Chain A
Amino acid sequence: MSNGKGMPLSNKIYMALGFFFLYAPIVSLVIYSFNESRLVTVWGGFSLKWYQALFNDSALLASASLSFKIAFLSATLAVVLGTIAGLVLARFGRFRGLSLFAGMTTAPMVMPEVIVGLSMLLLFVALQSALGCGEESAGLLARIGCWAFGERGMVTIWIGHTTLCMAYVSVLVQSRLKEIDQSLEDAAMDLGCPPFKMFFVITVPVISQALVAGWMLSFTLSLDDYVLTAFLSGPGSTTMPQWIFSSIRLGLTPEINALATIVIAMVTVFVVVSNRLMLSAQAKRDKAMQMAVAGKAG
């Protein structure tokens, strides 16, 4: 849709305002993370003391460690499930139940989290009683189930986050699959490669950046999630967002600014890397291929 002409000044001003609005809070966090004074209003000089306090706060570190673990697990499982879902939606044509499947895949992205959270919790609770957790008579399978879902904790949060994140991954994978040349898969089969092998040897490498981008997106979503986690977590498992939320509620420490700055830095790196992957490198190669095929480079 680009008209190659460049933006008129009024548009540029609007965009600048828009981005100012988006970034003002973020910038303020970063600035105040280095503020010696506790008060937002007074600049007390440059200081790293809030960063120090951060690293001394064991409750925060514990919750951060848990959040990172869960984020890692969720991102990984979400990429696996989301890729399969994206593959099905992009390549498998029509089948009975397609409409329901398509709906279920995108719904977690759109549904209010309080509903998803409450409903998943009730499922786990029902599972608990069905498996007879806490009772002596439970069989082996039930014991395993109870160990996994018996209490709200890491596993339940992991399942919740995965369900949410796989929706996003499937969108990314679908859009990448639609972009690539479908003949690649036909060519592989034509040359004797059976379909499942073909998926791993040809399709996955070609869509790989969608997978990496999906992983990173899922990681950040999981790291940041509050509502879903609030329902699915138990007494022993406090995640970082939960720590942040209660800190804010209690009106306590500006450590949060320091934490925010670290998160912002990390996210910026992620986004830049992911962007280079999704939009630049492969797109450049795709473009080079297209132009070569059109004979222009020949």
Chain B
Amino acid sequence: MVTVEAKQGNLALKDQNYLEIKGITKKFGDFYAVDDVDLVIPKNEIFALLGSSGSGKSTLLRILAGMETATEGSILLDGENILDLPPYRRPTNMMFQSYALFPHMTVEDNVAFGLKQDKVPKGEIAERVGKLLDLVQMRKLARRKPHQLSGGQQQRVALARSLAKRPKLLLLDEPLGALDKKLRMETQLELVNVIETVGVTCIMVTHDQEEAMTMASRIAIMSEGKLKQVGTPREIYEFPNCRFTAEFIGTTNTFEGKMVVDEVDHCVIESAELPRGIYVGHGITGPRGMTVWYTIRPEDVTLSYTRPTGEHNWSEGRVQEIAYLGSHSVYHVKLPSGRLIIASVPSSHWAGQKPATWGDDIIVQLSNTEGVVLTS
């Protein structure tokens, strides 16, 4: 997975807090669509709101745009409280999931629309529109109407239109939702390119993890209106803070157990699902006997034919399912407790030996260092 790391550099304080979302709540009767969300986003960051439908991410985006009102809270953009402003006065612009290109106007007129509202002089409009169309490579089709364009072309026009006014905040609503997989990957990088070339703070909403991980420098995972975790793609993947996040991103194996040994530099967890204890190479705050969850990603679970010597982090098992994916295979192994564990094994692992197959008895090994202990 390619991640785009944040290019923070040295930002002035006011730019570090370019967008401050404080305590935003949106209630419909008794239902909380957005529940007390706080976020701080620095200037020019590409930030993703990730969640499944109903998580509140789209509502939050619409509140930022001004299409919905917030029940409580404030939003400061470059020092200005934008909640006071109606959507047509906010320095934000949105790219809609359906693109929402005005069907009775040409590509040019669509992109120029926002500038016309600001009464920008004609010459300047023409110049700026021209530059934007060059940027998204739509100059040749400037005179076409939206229904004469393909989906990918419409998307580019929608992007150009949303950047025309040089907004302080760009909002993307499921930008790639309508495209098929292959087109998606190319477009993801193109999109990021354009946004970074222009240089604009951007919040995108998506339900697609890969999209979020690829395009954004930081991600917020939302569920039921609340923020579950905020961090870079690596942080979220490798250090999830709760079971929800761990299970939401990628695949993972989670075991429930009790902490039986708790030292400063290590701890041991016993779980009914594993015959031997789990050794974790760092300490945990919490009382002995506390219920915890141990989660480990399939790529950190290895298979082997030889029994290891240590007393922790391994188990016997029988191969139930195999999905051969070329570069690696995903194994579902049944443990003595009946529980299935998922292991992702690179094809190179079996060099020389016969690869494990259905029904084989095999040893499952958990990495000593990569597992994460969760308390919620």
Contacts and interface: CB of A to CB of B under 8 A. Distances in A.
A292 interface: yes
Nearest to A190: B94
Contact of A183 (B98, B152, B178): B98
A289 B114 CA distance: 22
Could you say which interface size class chain A belongs to? 20 to 34
Nearest to B153: A298
Nearest to A204: B104
B151 A192 contact: no
A164 B94 CA distance: 42
Given A295-B183, A298-B151, A206 B89 contact: no
Nearest to A284: B147
Nearest to A202: B102
Interface in A146-185: 181, 183-184
Interface in A277-292: 285, 288-289, 292
A188 interface: yes
Given A186-B96, A205-B104, A295 B180 contact: yes
Contacts, number: 98
B182 to A, nearest CB: 10
Interface string B95-131: 0111110111000000001100110000000000000
Interface in B166-210: 178-180, 183
A187 B149 contact: no
A10 to B, nearest CB: 40
Contacts of B153: 298
B332 interface: no
Contacts of A293: 98-99, 151, 154, 178
A62 to B, nearest CB: 42
Residue from the set B94, B97, B103 with the largest chain A CB neighbour count within 10 Å: B103
Contacts of B180: 295
A198 B161 CA distance: 16
B281 interface: no
A292 B150 contact: yes
B65 interface: yes
A191 B114 contact: yes
Contact of A289 (B66, B86, B92, B146): B146
B67 interface: yes
A194 B89 CA distance: 8
B93 interface: yes
Interface in A79-97: none
A190 B149 CA distance: 23
Contacts of B86: 189, 194
A294 interface: yes
B94 A192 contact: no
Contacts of B148: 288
B150 A297 contact: yes
Given A186-B67, A206-B104, A293-B98, A194 B147 contact: no
Residue from the set B151, B152, B153 with the largest chain A CB neighbour count within 10 Å: B151
B179 A298 contact: yes
Contacts of A194: 86, 88
B102 A188 contact: yes
B346 interface: no
A195 B87 CA distance: 10
B165 interface: yes
A190 B114 CA distance: 8
Contact of A187 (B92, B94, B165): B94
Nearest to B146: A289
Interface string A100-132: 000000000000000000000000000000000
B151 A193 contact: no
B150 to A, nearest CB: 4
20 contacts: A183-B97, A186-B65, A186-B67, A186-B100, A187-B96, A187-B161, A190-B65, A190-B92, A192-B114, A206-B104, A285-B103, A289-B103, A292-B151, A292-B154, A293-B98, A293-B154, A295-B152, A295-B178, A295-B183, A298-B179
Given A193-B117, A202-B102, A285-B103, 11 more contacts: A183-B97, A189-B87, A190-B65, A191-B161, A191-B164, A289-B103, A289-B146, A292-B149, A293-B98, A295-B152, A298-B153
A-B pairs with lowest CB-CB distance, top 5: A298-B150, A192-B117, A191-B114, A183-B100, A298-B151
